[in-house]
Amino acid sequence: MKRTSIGQVECPVARALDKIGDWWSLLIIRDAFDGMRRFGEFQRSLGISKGILTARLKHLVAIGVLEMTPISDEDGYQEYLLTDKGRDLFLVTVSLRQWGEDHCFGKSEHHSVLVEKANGQRVQRLALRGRDGKEISESATFVRKVADTPRRPHNPKRRRAARR
């Protein structure tokens, strides 16, 4: 009964979620950012079953977010490393972290924090900025669909009703 496909629409959010929007992928990626690279490390950290972990790692390798490299001169075993594409997901984890910190902890609960190596201080909160570099709010923006994007002079009959 295949899930409705969300991977072919024009919305980048949908395409991104289609690739890494499942329950485990981002947690694996988070752990990878945290320095984990071995199968067993992920498994213990996540409390995930081996079968699922195998499938998820394969998927992440397949879409180019992780890469497998043999461990130097040891036999057989592999390590899972983030690719550049995978590292580009960092801000996704940061934005989730920020929201989690703000809304998912009780007053008396403590959580891990993202800090700078250089000085041990917490990083700044993420902020949306306009072209001029000044911070702007969500309400000052909107999503312009492809169909509404200004085209070159000779405008063919405007495509309509494309799903975002």
Partner DNA sequence: CAGTATCCCCCCTGATACTG
Partner DNA sequence: CAGTATCAGGGGGGATACTG
User: Which residues form the interface with DNA (CB under 7 A)?
Assistant: 1-4, 22-24, 38-41, 47-52, 54-55, 58, 77-78, 80
Distance CA 106, CA 157 (A): 55
Strand partners, 152: none
CB of 74 to a second copy, least distance (A): 25
Instruction: Give the number of other Cβ atoms within 10 Å of residue 89's Cβ.
Output: 20
Distance CA 38, CA 47 (A): 14
Between residues 26 and 61, which has the closer beta carbon with respect to a second copy?
26
Q: Pick what 26 binds: a second copy, DNA, none; C-beta below 5 to 8 Å, kind-dependent.
A: a second copy
CB of 60 to a second copy, least distance (A): 13
Strand partners, 129: 135
Between residues 73 and 107, which has the closer beta carbon with respect to a second copy?
107
The tokens describing 93, both together, are 């984890």
CB of 73 to a second copy, least distance (A): 26
Contacts of 154 (CB under 8 A, 6+ apart): none
CB of 113 to DNA, least distance (A): 27
Between residues 39 and 90, which has the closer beta carbon with respect to DNA?
39
